[in-house]
Each structure stands twice: as structure tokens, then as C-alpha cells.
Amino acid sequence: MALLTLAEAKAQLDIESTAHDTELQLYIDSLAAVIESYVGPVEDRQVTELAQAHGGVVCLLNTPVVSVASLTPALSGGTAYTPDLLQVDGPSGVIRLLSGGYLCGGPWTVTYTAGRGGVPPTVKLAALILLQHLWRTQNGAARGGGPADDYSVTEPIPGFGYAVPNRVLQLLEPYKRGPGIG
């Protein structure tokens, strides 16, 4: 699963030739980092992380979580847990024991899939609009189509500067990451 394919990008930009495919692929490949810095993982990926238990649960850093493959003690000894013994809250990345028992100490080695199990249509639309905006700033309005001021960003957005139009952030808002664990 990809955030955008080359064919989707070319359709958005009304590009029919292959002359810009290499450059355009660089733009496509760069979109995920920008989008995911705001909403967390979109494209599914396997993650292995060392985590500590606090309050009887383990909190994962890369959310949302699609599934957990294993939870094992990083040090020798201790009990390993299989997925059928765990309850995972996908949006928050919190792992609990189904038995109601407490996970203690650590470090725990957790192998899991972070992402969304598919790219939500609103996130895909945000990626297409961001692609069009970035393509226009590099290559001019003539190659991106539409009026020159259609993608204007008049105020820098904290953490994003002028690179991400407000319309993209508004589309991503329902998927925005919560505050980090302190």
C-alpha cells in the first residue's frame, strides 16, 4: 500500500508524459514523511520497539497500531505474550492483558504493525493537494494547473512553515496525532 502511486500523482497534475517520472517519484516519496509527521503512520509498517510497562500497561510510540505480533521480555527470563493474550487499543497504542493482569517492568520488546490498515480517502486527498502545491512551488503554476493563488500560504504554520497549505492540514485534522507521552 502506498500513500500515492505515480499514476494517481500524474492524474492529479494532468501529466501524461513520462518525462518527469523520476522527479515526480521523489515528490511522492517525500509526502509520507510530511503527512505522517502530523497524523502518525499511514502506510502500514512493521515496528520493533523497546518499551517499559507503566500502570500495568505498555504504551507504544508509533500510533495508530494495526496489530501486535509479539510482546517479549527484552532481558532473559519473564513471560512472553502472544497476541491472543493481549488487548490493543489501536488509536492510543496501549497494550493490556486480556486477563486483567498487569504488565510490569521491562524493557519489553514489542513487534507490531503501525499504520491504518489502508489509506483513508481524506488522507489521500490531502496528499494529492500537498503534492500539487509542492509541484507548483518547484515547477511553476503552468505545470500544476489552476490559478496561482489557489495554494497560497499566507501565514507560516508552526512546524510546517510555508510548505503545507491550510487546506491540507484541515483535511488531516480528524487524524491528527494526540500529544506525546511525557
Dump pLDDT digits (tens) for 103-133.
Answer: 988 899 999 999 998 899 999 999 999 999 9
Q: What is the pTM of this model?
A: 0.75
Dump pLDDT digits (tens) for 71-88.
Answer: 999 887 788 999 999 999
- Among all chains, which residue has been given the C-alpha cell 517499559? 52
DSSP one-letter code for 101: -
**Lowest-pLDDT choice from 57-71, 100-114, 133-147, 162-176:** 133-147
Residue 123, C-alpha cell as written in the block: 488522507
Residue 111 sits at φ, ψ, to 5 deg, of -110, 125
Closest CA to 152 of 170, 133, 124, 135: 133
More confident residue, 119 or 148: 119
Residue 117, C-alpha cell as written in the block: 490498515
